[in-house]
């Protein structure tokens, strides 16, 4: 039977409706009505999270790991319903939703295994030295402890992996922090099903009801109330630069400022070095076209800019990329708003006078078609507008006249999630010169690949200097992301019976 959402908020294990509603705008299938979030609901949810904090933070790592595993089990038990409504709401193909669901349950299980091992606690112990002169030393024990209730904002482009039970929620729950999620209005039905999976897991594992809440939709006042609530201790956000920066500023302006972990935007530049460009530039160009258009270009790691040294090999690279893009038909975008913003961004590049169109295919309504532009290093360096992300299948080739101009571009880059180097053996010397510059610009450097796959593993870094993210020392993917929701506490001369269980190892 077709999925029929009830359209309510989940607040501390209770499904609650509201007086105001909003209607979804699905890519296909029926529209549904959902209760709209309010400032009052935010207050109820956050106070419930605070009431749950001490018990949940005091639970054992094994209890929290079992909770995370159970959430994953419950999500998988609802696989068919998630795929059905997720494809309707977003227009994403079933295979993409199924893969993203696997990533979501997989990262929950990864965090369960991670906290069972306990390495993330970074326990340190300095024994007492009572006979030390000129003064004795006390016994000191340090361990990482959960910070308190966490606010998470669902992302538009990942209805599962960066939303209701996505990476931010998984990391916070693993750390011992209750979570209040503001769901994204682009896929509230998907969020509702996932929230029900969490609610059942709470019941099965005997967790406090306030450990999780989902507030659907709502205007800007709801998000503002959430980040400004005095009981919220950190925020996880994936979204636009403008929206994220506004929330970041609110967090900083609070009487008690709190960390805002925002992943905001990136053009993920590729440097195609000369020998690789000469030997296999056409192959790289075709691969770039495929990466640019994957998922209609709606990935935060979409490689939007390619830097090459001008010449015949660069011509062949551009021609191959353009030919590859011409084979891609119009693709439906996640929301009407995203499609509109893509069209506006593409037109702004076209009208800038700083970039020449190579191929531009236009589409109507919620669809998007690829676009390819090229410019010179001089124009790129003089026009910061060209450095900005256009969220969708748009590529910009920057033609440099020399290795010196390539380095100048590298030094002028803003913070990025990723930077890619395409190189052959004879390019290694040039890559060595660029690497110290580029590692200051991005959280992940990769060679001879495309950045649109983000592995959910211990060593992954998904973050980078501003404006890629608001905290360059953090990641939103991988087990290191748990550290965002922990703080070190030192216990001096504390009897073992008073120490937290995790500090007694």
Mean pLDDT, rounded, for 204-233: 96
| pLDDT per residue as tens digits for the range 27-58 | 999 999 999 999 999 999 999 999 999 999 99
> 271 has which bridge partners?
307, 421
Looking at every residue in the chain, the average pLDDT score rounds to 96
> 150 has which bridge partners?
179, 234
User: Residue holding tokens 């970041």?
Assistant: 248
- Give the pairing type, strands 14-16 and 260-263: unpaired
HSE toward the beta carbon, residue 273, CA cutoff 13 A: 22
| pLDDT per residue as tens digits for the range 176-215 | 999 999 999 999 999 999 999 999 999 999 999 999 999 9
CA distance linking residue 101 with residue 166, whole number of Å:
10
The phi, psi pair for 85, rounded to 5°, reads -75, -30
CA-based radius of gyration for the chain: 24
| pLDDT per residue as tens digits for the range 384-426 | 999 999 999 999 999 999 999 999 999 999 999 999 999 999 9
Catalytic residues: 263, 300
DSSP string of 258-274, one letter each residue: --EEEE------EEE-H
CA distance linking residue 193 with residue 75, whole number of Å:
8
3-state secondary structure of 24: coil
Under a CB-based contact definition with an 8 Å cutoff, are residues 208 and 52 in contact? yes
Q: Can you give the pTM of this predicted structure? A: 0.96
Write down the pLDDT at residue 19: 87
Mean pLDDT, rounded, for 457-486: 95
Residue 1 has pLDDT above 70, yes or no: no
CA distance linking residue 121 with residue 142, whole number of Å:
9
Write down the pLDDT at residue 414: 96
């Amino acid at each position: 039977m077709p999925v029929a959402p009830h359209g309510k908020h989940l607040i501390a294990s209770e499904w609650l409706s509201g007086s105001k509603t909003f209607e979804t705008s699905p890519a296909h299938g029926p529209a549904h009505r959902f209760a709209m979030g309010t400032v009052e609901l935010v207050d109820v949810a956050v106070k419930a999270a605070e009431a749950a904090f001490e018990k949940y933070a005091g639970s054992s790592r094994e209890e929290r790991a079992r909770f995370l595993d159970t959430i994953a089990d419950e999500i998988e038990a609802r696989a068919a319903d998630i795929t059905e409504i997720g494809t309707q709401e977003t227009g994403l193909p079933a295979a993409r939703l199924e893969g993203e669901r696997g990533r979501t349950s997989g990262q929950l299980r990864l965090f369960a295994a991670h906290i069972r091992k306990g390495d993330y606690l970074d326990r340190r112990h300095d024994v007492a030295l009572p006979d030390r002169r000129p003064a004795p030393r006390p016994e000191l024990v340090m361990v990482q402890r959960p910070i308190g209730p966490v606010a998470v904002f669902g992302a538009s482009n990942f209805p599962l992996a960066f939303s209701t039970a996505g990476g931010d929620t998984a990391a916070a729950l693993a750390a011992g922090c209750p979570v209040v999620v503001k769901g994204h209005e682009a896929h509230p039905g998907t969020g509702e099903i996932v929230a029900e999976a969490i609610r059942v897991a709470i019941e099965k594992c005997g967790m406090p009801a306030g450990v999780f809440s989902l507030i659907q939709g709502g205007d800007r006042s709801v998000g503002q109330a959430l980040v400004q609530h005095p009981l919220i201790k950190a925020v996880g956000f994936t979204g636009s630069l403008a929206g994220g920066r506004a929330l970041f500023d609110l967090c900083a302006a609070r009487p008690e400022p709190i960390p805002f972990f925002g992943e905001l935007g990136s053009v993920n530049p590729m440097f195609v070095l000369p020998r690789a460009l000469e030997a296999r530039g056409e192959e790289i160009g075709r691969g770039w076209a495929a990466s640019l258009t994957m998922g209609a270009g709606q990935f935060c790691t979409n490689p939007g800019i390619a830097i090459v040294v001008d010449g015949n090999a660069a011509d062949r690279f551009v021609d191959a990329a353009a030919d590859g893009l011409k084979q891609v038909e119009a693709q439906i975008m996640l929301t009407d708003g995203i499609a509109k913003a893509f069209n506006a961004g593409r037109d702004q590049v076209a009208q800038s006078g700083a970039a020449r169109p190579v191929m531009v295919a236009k589409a109507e309504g919620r669809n998007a078609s690829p676009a390819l532009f090229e410019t010179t290093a001089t124009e790129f360096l003089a026009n910061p507008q060209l450095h900005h992300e256009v969220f969708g299948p748009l590529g910009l080739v920057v033609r440099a006249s020399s290795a010196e101009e390539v380095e100048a571009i590298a030094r002028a880059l803003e913070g990025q999630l990723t930077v890619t180097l395409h190189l052959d053996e004879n390019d290694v010397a040039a890559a060595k010169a660029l690497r110290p510059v580029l590692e200051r610009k991005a959280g992940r450097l990769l060679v001879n690949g495309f950045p649109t796959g983000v592995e959910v593993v211990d060593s992954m870094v998904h973050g980078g200097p501003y404006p890629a993210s608001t905290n360059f020392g953090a990641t939103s993917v991988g087990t290191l992301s748990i550290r965002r929701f922990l703080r070190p506490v030192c216990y001096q001369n504390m009897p073992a019976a008073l120490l937290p269980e995790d500090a007694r190892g």
